[in-house]
Structure 1
Amino acid sequence: MSLADGPWGVLALALVLIGLVLYVMPVISRIPRLEAQVRRQGATIDQLCARLGVESASLDSSRDLDEQERALIAKGEKIAAIKHHRERTGSSLSEARDAVEGGIA
């Protein structure tokens, strides 16, 4: 019989779980506040871009697609479009997939 099998093991597990909850809960509670802060910063950036007369950076990556990628998407060749986008931009697989899927929507 090991120490983990007895009541001390259960107590240790309970203490670990309580510690984990006490650590994670404050982090989770900050997420809405941080999201609101990011939205405010985005709005400020958009206002500055408008004042300067420059195009605002957008999270819409579908406009980053070139004509060949758009043609591949139109033909239903999503994987080929992702591959072409990666080769052309040097983006990661995830970024290229997001860009192509943004062009499909």
Structure 2
Amino acid sequence: MENLLPGIALVVLALAVVSSSTDRRSKMVERRLVRLESKVDLLLAHAGIEEPQHARFAEIDALLAQGKKIQAIKLHRELTGSGLAEAKEAVERRTR
């Protein structure tokens, strides 16, 4: 049993290192994606082009008209695959 402890510790340490590096890479990719999305938004705004919307976005507007903001956020996340904060912000923009 004593012979297994160093091996187990080494495996745990290796898993921690792999997990840490994967987390750093995913955060870097996420930051790059956010920058790219903002650049695309600027280009669309400069060209005067509105982003095409999914046909079901009218459902989001209907939910908002009924005061069902949470359901609207859930539907937005389902349609776009966005995170909670991003969907909340997008739905709030639609109410303005």
How many residue pairs align between the two structures?
A: 80
Which residue number in structure 2 is paired with residue 88 of structure 1? Answer: none
Matched, 1:20 2:3: no
Q: Which has the larger radius of gyration?
A: 1
Change (3 A) 1:63 1:11: farther
The structure 1 segments of at least 4 consecutive aligned residues displaced by more than 3 Å after TM superposition are 101-104
For structure 2, list consecutive stretches of 5 or more residues without a partner in the other structure.
none
Select the residue among 86, 95, 100 that pairs with 2:78. Answer: 95
1:28 alignment partner AA: D
Deviation at 1:36, TM superposition (A): 2.4
Q: CA RMSD in A?
A: 3.9
Helix, strand or coil: the match of 2:44? helix
For structure 1, list consecutive stretches of 5 or more residues without a partner in the other structure.
1-5, 86-90
* Identity over aligned pairs, percent: 20
Which residue number in structure 1 is paired with residue 6 of structure 2? Answer: 11
Select the residue among 25, 42, 49 that pairs with 1:47. Answer: 42
| TM-score (norm: length of structure 2) | 0.54
Matched, 1:29 2:24: yes
